[in-house]
Amino acid sequence: MPRRFRTSRPRPQGRTAGFRRVPTGGPHAATTFGANFSDGYALGVIGAVLPALGETMRLSGVWQGLLGASALIGLFFGSILLGQVADVIERQKLYLYDFVLIAVASAAQFWAHSPLALFLLRLAIGFGLGADYAVGPTLLSEFVPGRLRGVLLGSLTVLWAVGYVLANIAGTYIPINGTTAYWLLASGAVPALLVLLRIGIPESPSWLAARGRAAEAARIRRTYLGQSEATAADVEAAAAAQPPVTASSSPAVRRPRPGSVSSSTAPRCCPTSPSNTFMPQILATLNISGADNQNLVLNLALLLGGVIGLWPVQRLGRRPFTIGTFAILTLCPGAMAMLSDGSSAALMVPFLDLTFVMAGASTITQVYPAELFPTALRGSGVGFLNGTSRVASAIGTFVLPVSLSHFGAGWSMGWMALVLLLGTVVSLAWAPETRDTLTAEDLHH
């Protein structure tokens, strides 16, 4: 089945393959990795401080759900709207300005002493993150060679997990009260100052070439990708000789349909994102003893799972990896639902498995979108798939605290298992294999 999605066009040889010998995306890799660390920290810190804010602000379950989901709601709109903008204006501009918004809104949380003010600022942070989720992987995929694309794009999730885990560990071991909670929220502005490193980052040469700016594209390829002038000229000649890539003409869009990826990844995000955000509350509801230490173990499992997940997503292929991880994730909350009245040790085994596999499975969400869309549509496509998956995350994050308070952990884990079972079935039916798909960049490289 994987071969069905390969294109019939041969890979370029000789001098036109020079771009593929570039080992990494250079400055884009460094700043995008750093950005994902900042993204994870900004999203993780709200879960770390929500228990303290719930007491100081006297938050209901609804407000806790809204604050937990606020950044995800903003992320949806930022991904959808600004992903399309990135295909029209220069990607580099959004790549710079989205983190200005994140830094300012993160710092302003220090003065947000009402649920509504904090909710609006978290929306703004999410809007900026949405732009970065659309533009960062898009730019990186247009600079890295195809043979490293799966590993490098998957590594974005690992850096996200590092930031997320750091925020959770800080929330666990720093005494959180009405004052320190706001300091911790505002600390998200520190990694967001990464924006300063993005000044002067080059534009995507593939995007420039698609807009008829071949001379600028050739200059960037010579300066940042180490191509000789003759090689860069050959690349641009090959690009000009290719017919325009559109949604109807591109094999990458025509066969592995983006809707199939969205429908198979969204059910993963619905239960897994809230289980991260409300990990301390889940532990408390399950009456697990030593919750702080257990929380630390789960966060380390989250980090380790992301690192180990890089290998199977590259070696096994995208489709079997997606189906296999969905099946395992379905079993874990199902076991937790059946063991909800059991011992702490018995409950921690499936919870640990859920966290570990969930982190590894999340790497596919960065890899799939960049391999489905051609240059002209990649910003919109990556933004669309990230945005739709975050709708599911936001819904799950809003519903889970309400479900925990009204129905308890057993029933809450039960509906999470059913959602993941739906994702398994959808993936079996529609998840595409894109590992060997030839992108427009591969044709030019």
pLDDT at 10: 38
Cα separations (Å) of 163 from 36, 39, 336, 341? Answer: 8, 7, 27, 33
> Strand, coil or helix: what is 200?
coil
Sign of the dihedral defined by the CA atoms of residues 13, 15, 16, 20, in that order: positive
Band of pLDDT at residue 273, cut at 50, 70 and 90: low
Instruction: Determine the average pLDDT of the residues in 92-116.
Output: 89
Q: Which two tokens stand for residue 328?
A: 């395992």
**DSSP per-residue string spanning 224-244:** HH---HHHHHHHHHHHHHSPP
Q: Which two tokens stand for residue 183?
A: 């300091």
Confidence (pTM)? 0.69
- Extract long-range pairs of 281-288: CB within 8 Å, 24+ residues apart: 281/50, 281/51, 281/401, 281/404, 282/351, 282/404, 282/409, 282/412, 285/404, 285/408, 285/409, 285/412, 286/336, 286/340, 286/344, 286/347, 286/409, 287/344, 288/344, 288/347, 288/348
Contact between residue 385 and residue 368 where contact means Cβ atoms under 8 Å apart: yes
> Strand, coil or helix: what is 349?
helix
Query: Which are the contacts of 8, defined by CB distance < 8 A and separation ≥ 6?
Result: none
Residue for token pair 């798909």: 437
Mean pLDDT is lowest, of 29-38, 44-53, 276-285, for: 276-285
Q: How far apart (Å, rounded) are the C-alpha atoms in residues 66 and 62?
A: 6
Q: How far apart (Å, rounded) are the C-alpha atoms in residues 186 and 202?
A: 30
Mean pLDDT is lowest, of 13-27, 37-51, 195-209, for: 13-27
Mean pLDDT is lowest, of 2-16, 162-176, 186-200, for: 2-16
Contact between residue 188 and residue 110 where contact means Cβ atoms under 8 Å apart: no
Highest mean pLDDT: which of 17-31, 273-287, 291-305?
291-305
pLDDT at 257: 52
Cα separations (Å) of 278 from 51, 67, 281, 319, 406? Answer: 9, 12, 5, 29, 15
Residue for token pair 């001098």: 15
Q: How far apart (Å, rounded) are the C-alpha atoms in residues 394 and 416?
A: 14
pLDDT at 241: 46
Q: How far apart (Å, rounded) are the C-alpha atoms in residues 254 and 8?
A: 14
Highest mean pLDDT: which of 250-254, 264-268, 296-300?
296-300
Band of pLDDT at residue 315, cut at 50, 70 and 90: confident
Looking at every residue in the chain, the average pLDDT score rounds to 74
Q: How far apart (Å, rounded) are the C-alpha atoms in residues 105 and 71?
A: 11
Q: Is the pLDDT of residue 15 over 80?
A: no
Band of pLDDT at residue 247, cut at 50, 70 and 90: very low
pLDDT at 237: 53
Q: How far apart (Å, rounded) are the C-alpha atoms in residues 104 and 124?
A: 9
Helix spans in 87-210 (H): 91-108, 115-141, 146-173, 180-186, 189-192, 205-210
More confident residue, 382 or 422: 422
Q: How does pLDDT run across 325-376, given as a tens digit for each residue? A: 889 989 988 888 888 777 777 778 888 888 888 888 877 777 777 777 776 6
**DSSP per-residue string spanning 304-320:** HHHHHTHHHHHHT-HHH
Q: How far apart (Å, rounded) are the C-alpha atoms in residues 36 and 77?
A: 18
Instruction: Determine the average pLDDT of the residues in 269-281.
Output: 58
More confident residue, 17 or 156: 156
More confident residue, 366 or 101: 101
Q: Which two tokens stand for residue 396?
A: 């799950």
> Strand, coil or helix: what is 177?
coil
Band of pLDDT at residue 125, cut at 50, 70 and 90: very high
Q: Is the pLDDT of residue 437 over 70?
A: no
Q: Is the pLDDT of residue 195 over 50?
A: yes
Band of pLDDT at residue 284, cut at 50, 70 and 90: low
Q: Interhelix angle for 27-56 vs 61-86, to 10°? A: 160
Band of pLDDT at residue 263, cut at 50, 70 and 90: very low
Highest mean pLDDT: which of 29-38, 115-124, 302-311, 354-363?
115-124
Cα separations (Å) of 283 from 248, 318, 386, 402? Answer: 49, 32, 29, 15
CA angle (104, 110, 111) in 5-degree steps = 100
Q: How far apart (Å, rounded) are the C-alpha atoms in residues 373 and 134?
A: 12
Q: Is the pLDDT of residue 379 over 50?
A: yes
Band of pLDDT at residue 16, cut at 50, 70 and 90: very low
Instruction: Determine the average pLDDT of the residues in 151-161.
Output: 81
Q: Above pLDDT 90, what percent of the chain?
A: 8
